[in-house]
Structure 1
Amino acid sequence: MPQEKVYLHVDRSYYASGETIWFKSYLTIGPFHEPSLLSQTVYVELVNSDGEIIQNLKLYSPDGFASGQFDLPDSLSSGSYLIRAYTNWMRNFDESYFFHRQINIWNNESSEDVAVHQGDIDVQFFPEGGDLVNGVLSKVAFKATGPDGLGKVVKGKILDGENVIAEFESNRLGMGAFAIIPQNGKQYKAKIEGLNQDIPLPKSKDTGIVMTVTNSPRSEDVIIKIQTSDNLEKGTIFLLAQTRGLICASSSVDLSEKIMYAKIPKKEFPSGIAQITALDKEGNPLAERLVFIDHQDHINLTISTEKYIYAPRDSVRVNIQAKNKEGLPVLANLSLSVFDSDQVIENENKENIKSNLLISSELKGHIESPGYYFNPNNPDREEALDFLMMTQGWRRFQIKVLLKAESKETVYRAEKGLTIKGKLTDNRNEKPADAGLVSYLSLFPFTDSKTVKASSNGEFEINDLVYFDSTKVILEGKSKNGRIPVSLHVEQFYQSPVIKYLWTSSYHPSVDKKNSFVSKSIERQNIEKAYNFDDSDIALEGVEVQGKKIIERYSGPRIYGEGSVKMKVAGNPALENLEHPLDLVKGRVAGVMVWGNGQVWKVLIRGIGSINSGTDPLIMLDDIPIAIENLYTIPVMEIESYTVWKGPDTAIFGARGSNGVIGFYTKKGIPERPIDPVKKEILAPKGYHIEREFYSPKYHFKDLNDPKPDRRITLFWEPYIQTDSLGNASVMFYNHDVETVVQMEIEGISISGNPAYSKFEYTINK
């Protein structure tokens, strides 16, 4: 059961509506985080705070790497959004294994973020190893969180009745620890300063063991101390130490003494979280402790530029060198984000690829400021990391289940490509075409053909296909004897896993910085409208076209007028090959928000008020109202055009149009070519996402006086940087016009799975 992980490097942490989110996908597998060759499809979704998927992409990842982008509609409302990524294989495990990252998106026309409810602070206590045992000295860790899911600084006392037996105080992340020797028959409670509540400590056991682990960064060994209660039956227990499923050490411990010690050399473990478990002879866990092993074997990145101060529109060459712990060059796959740090203020303790692979992807629940534990500017980071190990538990391996060979069978296959499912039916009676054949043909990006046999109920499934958005693929259906006309019915929609993620208060700058960010975003949009930036246009000589004028058939509304916005679909392959009719509207009509997948879709037309307290607009097909959930039955290939009514234009509909109207108009009156009843081109499900190259202007000498202002936030994004045999790589880009401090962030992994993360700054000054 190898474990895959997905990590996304995102170009920054917050955006304005109408901008683009650029990202790079790193797909790893196994205990050493090597690039995964098991799955080749990565699903990436953009989710709003109501848990609704508003955009979803499929990335082709044949070697563990892929990149893409989300183009945000200008009508997207302000709020906290979630980027989720996973593979089909990862669905065999818990959703908490998926990659999750919250980002903020702001719209100048939207209201401020809703304040988090200020309720009681939640404090939990975690005895080291698992249990308190009467008469045995134990360390107890604790974690205090607020309603926003973030750690809260607390102070308090441990009481035995009215007697104070211990005091405690948390660090800035709400975690800490204290020592206690519980006694039989006593119930202890914690009293938190400033709170009107007493919190009971976990009850202690009369019999058992207490496992204490010392993991000093200055020691080469992990020291394990086993203490037993006086009445514990003597015998032998076993210690098992593993990291990400890799067994690193095991031994037996004789309980003839009340206190026993064992040590494990740290060199036995790879870097990351080690799980040390004490088990009885039947394999039942008695105590468990997590420790973090850090061999400092991540990739060391050296970033340099020719100077530290540049002029606006200067060219900048960035030289990158990757070396391992021993100073030897490393082959690494990297991605680079360069942004204006005055416009984007990043949290210095945010997650990066190192903290994700080694910590966040291994522990339960939300990890606040995961970069804190690797930031050398935090002197208490090693102690804080040990508190984290004691409080947030383990979820990957259940030793008892694995020892009894009760691990579940896999339900979801590892995908080497896309899947087309459907049904083959007899044209004469619509019954399943038993044992019929279905063939697939695609010519891009390479010629590929496959044939499968339909089941007794006519169902078929073609796996591991590689084709991209807007690529034409051909499906051919045949009956068993090849003489009976058949029809192909293809499932168009992918059913995403249920979203269980719990939102927390995500990091964002002050209100003043936020307002400045949004106003500058509006300034950039106005610049885009005022200037023509496409300098690739070439003026051609005039040509004279002679022919006969064709009167186009009217394909719009017959009853309700021209509407506010009208768009022709027929004849535009980029539109005709979309999956759902509402995909035609999404991101193409200002003020109209569309999100959803499968049969579940939502539409919100901004600026429209409802008299019925609803928000759903009126949907029409050829001027006849239709339920939005029935739109999926209309092939986009059959739509000639669509029209949107909003604002005053909806008056003709009366109360029915109070939330706006969208009308779709099909191709009528156009004679269709006779089609072979056995062969027919079928619209395939959505293909792989086609990544777009990041646009970065090139300011050569003649362009330095270009009057168009350059106010970019992300100055440069390069998802594919490969170091050579000497560990070297370089990229070049041009500055914008703003005097500011520019920040670079580089992330990536080596071919052996070691993570890399580094930052660098330079200044733009006239």
Structure 2
Amino acid sequence: MRRICLPIFIFTVLGLCSFSSSEDPLNRLVAGLKKYLDELPQEKIYLHFDRHHYLSGETIWFKAYLVAGAYHTPSTISRTVYVELINEQGERLHHLKLFAVDGSAAGDIELPDSLASGNYLVRAYTKWMRNTEEDYFFHHLIKIWNDNDLVVATASQTIPMDIQFFPEGGDMVDGILNKIAFKAIGNDGNGKEVKGKIVDESGEIVSHFKSNSLGIGSFLFTPRKDKNYRAIVDNHPQEVNLPGIKESGLTVSINNSPRLNEVIVRIQTTDFSKIETIYILAQTRGIVCYTARANLTTNIVIAKIPKSKFPAGVAQITITDRNGIPLAERLIFLNENEDRLSLNITPDKSTYKPREKVTFQIQATNANGTPAITDLSLAVVDSAQVPLDENHETINTYLLLSSELKGIIESPGSYFNPMNNNRDVDLDNLLLTQGWRRFALKKALEPNWQKPNYKSEQGLTIKGKMVQSDNNKPVADGKVSYLTLYPIPGTKQVRTNPSGDFEMDNILYFDSTQITLQGETKSGNKRVKFLLNNISDLPANRFLIPHLQRSQTEFERNFVAKSVDRKNIDDAYNFNGKTILLDEVEIRTSKVNSKSNVSHIYGEGSISVKVVDDPAMENQLHPLQLIQGRVPGVQVMGNGTDWKVLIQGIGSINSDITPLILVDNMPVSIESLNMLMVRDIESYNVWKGPDAAIFGARGANGVIGFYTKKGGDFNLPAEGILTFNDFGFRVEREFYAPLYDVKRPDHTKPDRRVTLYWNPLIQTDSSGCATVSFYNHDLETTVAGILQGNSKSGSSGSVRVKYLIKGSE
């Protein structure tokens, strides 16, 4: 045994003695990484939700934290944040624009009552983030239930699994002991606990494997090039072949034990003649923490890297050849230098009565104990109705871990939970199986980087082309003026380029806003028109949303049942959390007739639809959206100000397929509808087939008629003017929380809220303090809250709080 250990010890010493500073390629890599941080700083978005389980008809409340750079400071790169809700079919159901101030914004998503049960993806990003892959976006899966969906329990059955194996460092090399990590995922997207054995082609068992509850694990194994290996999973028919084995190559093994002050990196090869000199680079979020050069003439090199050199987070250790080409790569997690924000939240009592006032004292300090001015959000829920999972994502786990890896990390909090005794081993196995998605070193070696395709946004953008009215020729060096009156009057002017294109960026408008553009040529001629290119250029979603398993857990059945009870209470009392009951007053006025004053001289058409008093229709942005998907045989395509309509079954007598458009019985162009406000429309009719014959040749392509409430009040725009409606930044709504300090008639309604309190706008003062208050609901229960936030210096933190509700009011 002594004779075996001695050569390895000598190899180790020789390997360490061969380290020296490097001139190439390390200097190029270091310079490239610095350039990357300076010119392409990365933004990240984290969303804090009020909870993670919802029923159709409820509201998702959230706070967006937008940070940038290696130290996660509040971003000044972008102010426009996009948040989307996407269903299992990949359809974008909501697309919100939020205006971020000092790196934060708050919003909400109202879920329709008709929304089907399913898994839904909440995705958030900025336009600047689109310069990289979609993996940089924030992704979060939310399960939404509809109580009208029939859900039945299903018998236990074998679930198909995807099992993948990942050699440490990237390759299995003949004759070298390898650590092989693995991950088993079910078709629901969640990890599946597995165990089994590794066998060669003769069936001989060479190793065993067993995962944790999330389907992740690792095992040691020395492969042979003349053997083929496969994994056999116990109690499962599936068998998986292991990756191929290289005859020669390089392997990396890491010892990142929390008991050590250094990271031990062991590099081994079977043939040093092919790789004599290697280069080691370790970096975290682009910050270079360690570089070295080593000679592999001994076949083994061991490097010791002080952990104190690394900021907290995921570190990438890469071994390259003399050309900077990666030979092996390994991810590790380090938190020795974590600059975590310390948060304390203290209730004024440990036990309260129903509807009693609750007061929280909040204290935020930096890692050195000094007060921290901090941007915070707080969610407080009834844990009997919807528990707060201790292992769920927080701002800490996201910024330091999840945002650095590919895919959604299941139960990320478990890797930081002190109650998990295996968290260090589990975290190391996670980093062996999860794909690296941040900066690729080969980019640092590129002499010239491509200019970003997407600019950062400090507001919204309107772009298009200005052309001459009579011949559609581009207007070069023309003047385009912009005007909006909400929320405050705003104007802007730009000139068109030689192709007639123009772009107005960083403008501010909110909710559904009427916008006016006015144009003229260089000589002042106003006979121009606009071709807007504001059709949303939205990124495709490549994230796989797993199909909802139709069987419910006991918690989910209980959650849906209690949600139905709350809906029944709302219906019985005929008001909800969005309604304010006013004291009785006497109103003296005359009735306003909302019916159009214009007679329908052409009759009611094939279809007649009333718009007024229908919220789902009155909240639309463009008149043609009232028809889109609502009238059989009529196809409406477009967005912004560019729309096309096709009435099927109509035989066109010319090349134009556009139907005749009427407003209050007067023919108008389809472009003129851009200035007709939906809120001014009382109803619309559609004539098609034989019903359109009354219009003669004009109705050959069908007819659509809109009728306004006032009637005859619709005016065509003057030359050179375009007026249209667009959705701007979403105006933040206030979360409804009842005040029980003074008795009111509406307080007779039973209060069974799930979310008792949601506040996305908590700011600590110069002493690091803040105070919040709210009132309990009616139920005896345990209430749980989570406070999260980020300081101006980029320190993030989260803390949980609990208290009891007991007794009677």
| TM-score (normalised: structure 2) | 0.81
Aligned residue for 2:517? 475
- Residue range with higher mean Cα deviation, 44-53 or 232-241: 232-241
* Cα 1:118/1:440, change in 2 over 3 Å: farther
Please tell me the residue identity of whatever aligns with 2:753: R
Equivalent AA in structure 2 for residue 141 of structure 1: A
Aligned partner of 2:266 in structure 1 is 225
Match of 2:207 in 1: 166
Pick aligned residue for 1:71 from 110, 130, 144: 110
Equivalent AA in structure 2 for residue 250 of structure 1 = T
SS of 2:246's equivalent?
coil
- Change beyond 3 A, Cα 1:641–1:444: closer
* 1:419-568 aligned within 5 A: 419-504=461-546, 509-510=553-554, 511-527=556-572, 529=574, 535=580, 537=582, 552-554=597-599, 558-559=603-604, 566-567=611-612
| 3-state SS, counterpart of residue 207 of structure 2 | strand
Letter in 1 for 2:339: D
Question: Is 2:300 the partner of 1:255?
Answer: no
Partners of 2:139 and 2:408 within 8 A in 1: no
Partner of residue 606, structure 1: none
| Residue 212 (structure 1) aligns with | 253
- Choose which of 311, 329, 344 in structure 2 pairs with 1:288: 329
Structure 1 partner of 2:404: 362
Identify which of 378, 403, 407 aligns with 1:336. Answer: 378
Give the Å deviation of 1:402. 2.4
Whether the aligned pair in 2 keeps the contact of 1:642 and 1:664 (CA below 8 Å) is no
Point out the more displaced range, 517-526 or 506-515: 506-515
| 1:237-252 mapped onto 2 (5 Å cutoff) | 237-252=278-293
State the AA in 2 paired with 1:150.
Answer: N
The amino acid across from 1:757 in the alignment is S
Q: Deviations over 1:89-138 (max 9, x none)?
A: 11111111111111122222233389899553222111111112222222
CA distance in 1, matches of 2:176, 2:576: 75
1:277 alignment counterpart: 318
Q: 1:616-695 to 2 correspondence within 5 Å?
A: 634-635=673-674, 637=676, 640-641=680-681, 665-667=706-708, 670=712, 672=714, 676-678=718-720, 680=721, 682-695=723-736
* Deviation (angstroms), 1:666: 3.9
Name 1:54's counterpart in structure 2.
93
Q: Report the CA distance shift for 1:413/1:756 in structure 2 as closer, same or farther (over 3 A).
A: same
Q: Deviations over 1:266-290 (max 9, x none)?
A: 1211111000000111111111100
Aligned to 2:803: 762
1:148-204, CA deviations, whole angstroms, 9 ceiling, x for partnerless residues?
Answer: 222122222222333222222111111111112223422222222223344222222
**Secondary structure of the structure 2 residue equivalent to 1:54:** strand
Q: Is the 8 A contact 1:531 1:708 kept in 2?
A: no
Aligned length: 722
Tell me how far 1:23 sits from its aligned partner.
0.9
Instruction: Tell me: CA distance 1:125–1:537, structure 2 relative to 1, closer, same or farther (3 Å).
Output: same
Equivalent of 2:161 in 111, 121, 146: 121
- Note the C-alpha offset of 1:567: 1.1
> Does structure 2 conserve the Cα–Cα contact (< 8 Å) formed by 1:420 and 1:685?
no
Contact 1:277 1:287 in 2 (8 A): yes
SS in 2 for 1:222: strand
Counterparts of 2:715 and 2:126, CA distance in 1: 41
Please give the secondary structure, in 1, of the residue aligned with 2:443: helix
TM-aligned CA distance change 1:547 to 1:502, over 3 Å = closer
Q: Equivalences for 1:46-195 in 2 at 5 Å?
A: 46-112=85-151, 119-160=159-200, 161-195=202-236
Q: What is aligned with 1:418?
A: 460
Tell me how far apart the structure 1 counterparts of residues 236 and 124 of structure 2 sit (CA, whole Å).
Answer: 39
The yes-or-no answer on 1:35 pairing with 2:74 is: yes
Give 2:392's aligned residue. Answer: 350
- Give the distance between the partners of 1:677 and 1:467, measured in 2 at CA: 25
The letter of the residue matching 1:174 is G
The Cα shift of 1:421 comes to 1.3
1:211 Cα shift? Answer: 1.1
- Give the secondary structure class of the aligned counterpart of 2:724: coil
**What secondary structure sits across from 2:172 in the alignment?**
coil
Q: CA deviation at 1:300?
A: 2.1
Equivalent residues of 1:493, 1:685 under 8 A apart: no
Change (3 A) 1:551 1:6: closer
Q: Look up the match of 2:654.
A: none
Cα distance in 1 for partners of 2:364, 2:573 equals 38
Q: Deviations over 1:658-709 (max 9, x none)?
A: xxxx99724496155575434x361253211111111111111444993222
Distance change in 2, residues 1:71/1:189 (3 Å): closer
State how far apart, in whole Å, the 2-side matches of 1:597 and 1:367 are: 35
Give the 3-state SS of the residue equivalent to 1:185 in structure 2.
coil
Secondary structure in 2 aligned to 1:23? strand
**Counterpart code for 2:92:** I
**Which of 229-238 and 242-251 deviates more?**
229-238
CA distance in 1, matches of 2:476, 2:80: 31
Whether contact under 8 Å (1:444, 1:467) holds in the other structure is yes
1:340 to 1:576, Cα distance in 2 relative to 1, 3 A: closer
Secondary structure at the aligned position of 1:670 is classed as coil
| Structure 1: gaps of 5 or more residues | 589-593, 602-618, 625-629, 646-652, 654-661
Distance 1:143 1:688 in 2: 41
Match in the other structure for 2:739? 698
After superposition, give the CA deviation of every residue in 1:428-476 in whole Å (9 maximum; x if it has no partner): 3343333211012345555543211123333211111111123444322
**Partner amino acid, structure 1, of 2:144:** I
Letter in 2 for 1:423: K
Deviation, 1:72, is 1.7
The one-letter amino acid paired with 1:158 is I
Asked if structure 1 preserves the Cα contact closer than 8 Å seen for 2:272 and 2:299, the reply is no
Offset at 1:377? 1.9
**1:414 partner amino acid:** S
Determine if contact 1:642/1:663 at 8 Å carries over to the other structure.
Answer: no
- Indicate whether 1:323 and 2:365 are aligned: yes
Answering whether residue 47 of structure 2 is matched by residue 5 of structure 1, we say no
1:343 and 1:41 map into 2 onto residues whose CA distance is 35
- Aligned partner of 2:290: which letter? A
Spell out, residue by residue over 1:563-615, the C-alpha distance to the aligned partner (whole angstroms, 9 max, x if none).
7864169xx9x988953337669999xxxxx99966999xxxxxxxxxxxxxx
Supply the distance in 2 between the matched residues of 1:738 and 1:215 (Cα, whole angstroms).
48
Q: Counterparts of 2:661 and 2:595 in 1: how far apart (Å)?
A: 26
Structure 2 SS opposite 1:683: strand
Mark the CA change 1:537 to 1:551 in structure 2 (over 3 Å): closer, same or farther. Answer: same
SS in 2 for 1:682: strand
User: What are structure 2's unaligned runs of at least 5 residues?
Assistant: 1-39, 631-635, 644-658, 686-690, 692-702
| SS, match of residue 46 in structure 1 | strand
Please state if 1:396 is matched with 2:438.
yes
Taking the TM superposition and a 5 Å limit, the aligned residue runs for 1:191-202 are 191-202=232-243
Cα distance in 1, alignment partners of residues 168 and 145 from structure 2: 43
**Which one-letter code corresponds to 1:55 in the other structure?**
H
| Paired amino acid for 2:567 | I
Seq. identity, %: 42
Match of 1:591 in 2: none
SS state of the match for residue 748, structure 2?
Answer: coil
Equivalent pair of 1:275/1:288 in contact (CA under 8 Å): yes
